[in-house]
Amino acid sequence: MSQFETFQHRHGMGSARTKVISVTSGKGGVGKTSIVSNMALSFAREGKRVLILDGDLGMANVDIMFGIRPERTIHDIVSGEASLAEVLVEVSKNITLIPGGSGVFDLQSLSVFQKQALLDQVSALGSQYDVMLIDTAPGIADNVLYLNSAAQHICVVVTPEPASITDSYALIKVLNQRYRETRFSIICNEVKDEADGQALFERLDSVARKFLYVSLDYLGSVPTDPVLRQATRQQQLVGKSHPEAASARAISKLAQGFKGYEPQVECKGSLQFFWEQLVGLA
């Protein structure tokens, strides 16, 4: 029995593994939440069971995209006011949300007993979910770094705006130097077309290869689309309201890009490992 299989057996997780994907960015306003929400919809339509963690704590808004108002958030779990099961909200068929809220830094200051209690609740989820999507806050704050470093796949959303490119590089650099992360998937958003997205990726990749020991993978691009902007303003998922829109098809293609994509670190492919890393017990 391999080390990973032993790990799964110890936590009662069976043979199934959850893909844990963080979607992050160096700066705000690049469309992370819209991409996360519509990717979740795409996964769900394929029959995948999706869990979303709204990690943009303090500015959490995944719930808004699905048109709901959660009564409890992750802060209630950390504070002991609610169990994980009580916080989970089904926002669409095959899609469950852990709503964000203030207090992410409490995760690092929990007692060993509190951390273990949280992990026991996560273990109870077993292998219920095929994919976990994490919508992080932008930037390089500690909570953003924790969420990304604990994920199996790190996706960085970048736009043609110079500040977005610079800040994306800074985020990749910090994750590489402080957490030894070496592989990142790049999503180019708000580009003219696929060629424009490829060119944007190559600009970021050339700088990263020159100064960092990292590998950047081009996951794909999402074109500038007025239909997407209108849907977002109306708090709708473009994949649901306008599934044939260019942006909706592009985001669906992003989700397809994870088929057959395996991590370099096998043990990162579980919810248990993600939470153990996040609260500092791994």
What are the sequence ranges of the domains in the chain? Answer: 17-279
More confident residue, 270 or 216: 216
Alpha-helix runs per DSSP H in the chain: 3-10, 32-45, 62-65, 74-78, 84-87, 112-124, 142-150, 162-179, 194-211, 226-233, 238-241, 246-256, 271-279
Global pTM exceeds 0.85: yes
What integer is the mean pLDDT of 166-179? 97
Q: DSSP character for 107? A: G
Q: Which among 162, 153, 50, 57 is positioned nearest to 105, based on CA atoms?
A: 57
Quote the pLDDT of residue 146: 83
What integer is the mean pLDDT of 48-67? 88
Class of 17-279 in CATH: alpha beta
User: Is the confidence at residue 104, as pLDDT, over 70?
Assistant: no
Measured CA to CA in angstroms, residue 31 lies from 94, 145, 160, 241 at distances of 23, 19, 13, 17
Quote the pLDDT of residue 5: 38
User: Is the confidence at residue 108, as pLDDT, over 80?
Assistant: no
Quote the pLDDT of residue 174: 98
**226-266: pLDDT as tens digits:** 999 999 999 899 999 999 999 999 999 999 998 766 655 55
Highest-scoring range by mean pLDDT, 27-36, 55-64, 137-146: 27-36
Quote the pLDDT of residue 6: 36
Q: What rounded mean pLDDT belongs to the chain? A: 86
Contacts 24+ apart (CB under 8 A), 250-255: 250/220, 250/221, 250/222, 250/223, 251/35, 251/38, 251/39, 251/42, 251/222, 252/38, 252/42, 253/220, 254/35, 254/39, 254/42, 254/187, 254/219, 254/220, 254/222, 255/39, 255/42, 255/43, 255/46
More confident residue, 143 or 269: 143
Percent of the chain with pLDDT over 70: 85
| pLDDT range class, residue 65, cuts 50, 70, 90 | very high
Quote the pLDDT of residue 1: 36
